[in-house]
Structure 1
Amino acid sequence: MNRKKKMNDAYNKKLKKRNDKLRIINKPKYISKADREKIALEEQQTQD
């Protein structure tokens, strides 16, 4: 039973990694604090 469990666990781990790569990422791209400040300043200048 242990041998079967090890084989299934290894297979499921590989399968999970493959599926994670195919999954669409909905997380927004990271923007640094300095870049956010630059963007905010540019928006304020265009509004004025």
Structure 2
Amino acid sequence: MNRRKKGNQILKARAKKANAKLTSKNKPKYISKADRGTITSEPTEDKNVVSEE
């Protein structure tokens, strides 16, 4: 591999990594199975609030 090709390859790889960091991440944050179980078992109290007058 000649010197020019190797240099271009390194620069392309750096540009690709920098571009990947700048793009928005569409993947949702991972929630473990244990956390999913606790989230579904806990009822939300905000929906059950009754205003007393």
TM-score relative to the length of structure 1: 0.79
Larger Rg belongs to? 2
* Matched-pair identity in %: 53
Q: Which residue of 2 aligns with 1:9?
A: 9
CA shift digits 1:1-48 (9 cap, x unpaired):
7111101001101101110110100001011111100111124x76xx
* RMSD of aligned alpha carbons: 1.8
Structure 2 unaligned blocks of 5 or more: 46-53
> TM-score, normalised on structure 2?
0.73
Question: Which ranges in structure 1 are unaligned for 5 or more consecutive residues?
Answer: none
